[in-house]
Structure 1
């Protein structure tokens, strides 16, 4: 009677072993789902890549890339393993375009001259030139040199983005033209408003009480000292605030605010400010930020 039981147990064990093996095979079978794309081995998704390229075009050109631009830039980064060097190559190419400088000019004009555009400036130049013409007809040219000086400043303002693009001026002269003209004076009427606005726009801070009083005195033609530099005219004031290290540090602060939405560290502000002062341009500092993993997100 015991032998059949042993045989039965042996048979049942074989059945269980067969089922177990079959189950193991099912559990370890590779499942393929149609339309499902596995994530890239480097962990950088298509969404991350597209976001990076879109942000570059928006921050540098003020617009999104076209489909062709997005495809070309994406393929280039993939081919070059998304390297920092590859990112730098794309940034260099974008910064070599006049569209980049045109966008800089639009943003600077909106910030510093509010709603003044090139047509408005051109019309004002024409008005000044007509006044000069009428004075010459009347034989009253005593003050024409003052009007001609204003014409030259507005002409320089119109030419600023082209000159910056061509490299004939640096970033300090570029901003100098924006604060030293008829329209900036109209937006910031009076010596007090002029001094305060220059500190806000160029240094990204308000002046101290002493800086305010010294700045006003200098703008009004009185000999005074600002940022440890002597001056006695509005032109002296403009030269000081567009050549001081703090001017370049102000551009660093704005770059970090705009591109990374944060304050630069003390080290970043000092080191990048010196670099920008040495180059007299903001491209190298901007490129460093745009190239970084912090900006790219990968």
Structure 2
């Protein structure tokens, strides 16, 4: 008997390895397909959460709420001067009236209701070095010294429910990967037991010829490992094709939020390693199952 991954002719005569005939490789292929999709979903959502968090963590909007346009403009100018003197402020921009009109046009129409007819708060977009609470509080205090009625909105707060939802979906994806791994191990156990029953007479002959349980176990675990690797690669190829197709569809939508759902090089490497991890899991499950079963036969 040989102990490499490539079995000898004698080993194949003892234990045929028809990887296209049995159901186990195809069941594992389905499991790997679902596992790869779940893993890609979890990793992509994690990347989206990090991207959104980094983009919005230091973003603020200052609203000068004042009906009198002269007072509103004076307070807005004072806020701009104060913010330019803050070391943590990296950029600021006042939203112009034309831009405000364009933003409100879908709701108010083209009647030109800005200005005296409809007082609209002055908006100032502010970018900080980061979203540290102390930096944000310092900016808030500086703004309220010159504009006590100003409102300061942190962009990150707007998307906190979405970030929480993304976190829940990540945990769900991780749970699905774990369930698929457990299901794969169960399939391997059942397949190993079925193979032992099928080749029981061969096992008895090998025992009479002096073969040890370890040698017989090696035959079965190698066959199951190759079957699992074959099924895993088939499932991964199918899943990767779906991932690429969905990625193209998401990019075509042009949505910044959906576009943040992407896979890095490390994420892709982890997904590509799934079939090999599945083969290792199958090998371990087969080894434990076969050794326990052989001990009961004696």
Same fold by TM-score greater than 0.5 = no
Higher relative contact order (CA 8 A, sep 6+): 2
TM-score (norm 1): 0.25
**Greater share of strand:** 2
- Structure 2 length-normalised TM: 0.25
